[in-house]
Amino acid sequence: MRIHSLPIQLVNQIAAGEVVERPASVVKELVENCFDAGAQQIIIDIEQGGARLIKIRDDGCGIDKEDLPLALSRHATSKIKSLQDLEQVASMGFRGEALPSISSVARLTLISRTADAECAWSVCADGTERNFDPQPDPHPLGTTVDVQDLFYNTPARRKFLKAEKTEFTHIETLIKRMALSRFDISFILTHNQKEVLNLRPALVQLAKEQRVADICGPEFIKNAVTIDYSASGLQLSGWVGLPTFSRSQQDMQFFYVNGRLVKDKLVSHAVKQAYQDVLYHGRHPVFVLYLTLDPTLVDVNAHPAKTEVRFREGRLVHDFLYSALHRSLADVRPGQAVTVLEAESLDHDTTTQASFSTRSSDVGLGISAGAGAGAGAGAGAGAGAGAGAGAGASLLSGNSRQSSYIPKPPQQSSLPYSVGESIRAYAKLYQETPTYSTAHLTPDSAPITPPLGYAIAHLHNIYILSETATGIILVDTHAAHERVTYERLKQQHADGVIPSQPLLLPIKLSVSTAEAELAEQEQEFFALLGFELNRSGPETLTLRASPALLRNVDKEQLVRDVLADLSVNGVSQRIEEYTNTVLASMACHGSVRAHRRLSIDEMNALLRDMEQTERIGQCNHGRPTWIELSTKDLDKFFLRGQ
């Protein structure tokens, strides 16, 4: 067969197959153009789920009359001029394919006016990139793109459209996500002449939080930690939900790179690692996060729809995200509102500082009186915004967070570590709650009530009942002590060199050449983790020693899994995960068991330990450790003051 050139309209229709999947795809491309035009207001009118009409108006800079035909031509753009521009893309769009692709599968009209023009001009397009005849129009400053009868000339594509309600739901979800990326722009969305969204500009922090609450639900912002972390030229800001406020689906995870909403495996892996021992099994975290970095360090040209990116320094970004999220979750403790940490940047710049804080309004650890069971049972999609936080039942009340009480640090028992110690030996060290004196913490001698108050009773030999300045607190004794013990074990383990245990018989592993080369490159990494792993042939590795703590683990499979992680993600926390699993088991066996009666002094000692322990809001399995009922909640139960 002879080779021939394809008609321009067919070329654009092929391009449309990559860019225009459904009406929401059209909306995404056009709204991104509004962003690049400097719009302050964007109005989106939708009819019949977008199949009948998509009209998007903005008040941006507009397009010159002479440039209108070019705007509807393929590979024509004002956003890049050279390869250097492509390597540091700062705009949302840059391919120059959206308008001609859309016009090839719909009836498109483009109307625009610049600030110095006497009137606006409009053109119609059909994807052929010819016969443009601009006509004057009374349109105000800005641009309107009118897209009608989507896929009218490609009936096979039109058949794949879902029901009107479904398609509009995709559009509404998209606009909400895009609205979270640009707080300075107002968004108005209508469907069949009925207003659905009206988001005003949010220029101050309180207004931004209100927009987040409008989109993600008020319970999210009530149960979120504000994060602002900078290191190594990277900055991460936004909100992360507390572990006890989670979802059964990954439908409330918004991650933006330089203002662009993306989905990235590396990001997902870092987030998963940060939540690994604080989230209940089967639940997913919620977050709205913004990563800002030099545009030269990220490739946004990795996908036609620009929904995926590639980081040039993947390991750096992964470690940065993990560190920021891990510390922000660890730092939420009773009675603390703001903590400033000296954060080692990934290039060991000790001058970098990171600041984590909870919101200034009523933000707690997100557990209500009725939420514990939902989280513990792995509530399904019907759990709404998460494991649920009831009104007025956040763990940290406003008064307790502002308290000037600073508890004395608990006396730490020394934790001897040797290769031959068993789980029972570890557990014995923590079989009893620490018996240091709590006389200085009694209500008679301490005028300021500590955040978790003072113990009153041990209910059913399971729950500690404590009275605070603003209400009462219930603590699951075993879950709380398990977290305290677990964090101590992790700290003790981190403070020393990981002991390595020589193998009686070395293990030979047959691997691919690429895996052997990777193991050779990462030999120092394996050594730091307690492995003695050497390359003994082109496709052979020899394991001569492994971490003593993981003596009962399948070592060959573990090494293969770590190599797979390093190959895919450039980093692996698999050793840490296995180690933490063992330590968590030790902590569980070594913690106070249910139905064991505690004295008042022992209960107060545990409460003070909790106030000093990271991630105390949940146990190692992700279950809530404590809840609070304020006096207002109690008054509501008994109809007092009504």
Residue type at 420 in one-letter notation: G
State phi, psi for 366 to the nearest 5 degrees: 80, 25
What 3-state class would DSSP assign to 545?
Answer: strand
Structure tokens at 281: 């099994």
Distance, in Å, from the CA atom of 598 to the CA atom of 360, rounded to the nearest integer, reads 36
Distance, in Å, from the CA atom of 610 to the CA atom of 592, rounded to the nearest integer, reads 14
The pLDDT assigned to 205 comes to 92
The confidence band for 280, taking pLDDT boundaries of 50, 70 and 90, is: confident
| Sequence-ordered list of residues with C-beta below 8 angstroms from that of 110, at least 6 positions apart, any chain | 63, 68, 71, 72, 99, 122, 123, 124, 125, 143, 144, 145, 146
pLDDT digits (tens, 9 = 90+) for 161-184: 899 999 999 999 999 999 999 999
Q: Confirm if 620 and 453 have CB atoms less than 8 A apart.
A: no
Mean pLDDT of the chain: 76
92 or 338: which leads in pLDDT = 92
Structure tokens at 520: 């050779």
Return the bridge partners of 553, or none: none
Distance, in Å, from the CA atom of 404 to the CA atom of 448, rounded to the nearest integer, reads 8
Any idea of the CA torsion for 108, 113, 117, 122, to the nearest 10 degrees?
Answer: 20
The pLDDT assigned to 474 comes to 93
CA-closest candidate to residue 21, choices 130, 102, 77: 102
Give the largest CA-CA distance in the chain.
Answer: 97
Q: Which position has the token pair 């403070």?
A: 495
pLDDT digits (tens, 9 = 90+) for 524-549: 878 877 789 999 989 999 999 887 76
CA-closest candidate to residue 25, choices 132, 112, 106: 106
The confidence band for 405, taking pLDDT boundaries of 50, 70 and 90, is: very low
Q: In the predicted model, is pLDDT for residue 63 greater than 50?
A: yes
Residue type at 436 in one-letter notation: Y
444 or 280: which leads in pLDDT = 280
CB-count exposure of residue 67 (10 Å: 0-12, 13-18, 19+): middle
428 or 555: which leads in pLDDT = 555
Give the helix ranges, DSSP H, for 341-452: 371-376, 398-402, 423-429
The pLDDT assigned to 484 comes to 86
The confidence band for 439, taking pLDDT boundaries of 50, 70 and 90, is: very low
Q: Confirm if 31 and 10 have CB atoms less than 8 A apart.
A: no
The confidence band for 254, taking pLDDT boundaries of 50, 70 and 90, is: very high
What 3-state class would DSSP assign to 142?
Answer: strand
CB-count exposure of residue 612 (10 Å: 0-12, 13-18, 19+): middle
∠ CA 532-538-543 to the nearest 5 degrees?
20
The confidence band for 137, taking pLDDT boundaries of 50, 70 and 90, is: very high
pLDDT digits (tens, 9 = 90+) for 487-523: 876 776 677 656 778 998 899 999 999 889 988 888 8
